[in-house]
Amino acid sequence: MRDFSFKLKAIFAANRRWAMARGEESLRLEPKRRHTRRAGQRALIPPPPATQVPVGMVVFGLLAAAALIWIAIRSRRPQSDD
């Protein structure tokens, strides 16, 4: 896994930027939603952004992690002379 840490750091950094942007957007909307007294005005405020990751991204991430682990295991295994 050490061999691929530079790639994993980039993936985790991108995920963190995405999550922090969604959180910041939610924090900007929440005071407006809480301090609006009329239901009609509250309905005009957009809902918080979706924080669910699309299933395709999860599957891709799992496949990429499995591939990295497989490569790491194969590269550490001694080669036979057969």
Residue 15 lies in a domain: yes
Residue 81 lies in a domain: no
Average pLDDT over residues 19-28: 88
| pLDDT (tens digit per residue) in 25-62 | 888 888 888 888 888 888 888 877 766 667 887 888 88
| pLDDT (tens digit per residue) in 5-16 | 777 788 888 888
Sequence letter at residue 5 = S
Domain carrying residue 41:
2-76
d(C-alpha 27, C-alpha 41), whole Å: 18
Its pTM stands at 0.50
Residue 16 lies in a domain: yes
Specify the number of domains making up the chain: 1
d(C-alpha 66, C-alpha 64), whole Å: 5
* Residue 72 pLDDT class (50, 70, 90 cuts): confident
Residue 42 lies in a domain: yes
Quick count: other Cβ atoms within 10 Å of Cβ 48?
Answer: 15
Residue 82 lies in a domain: no
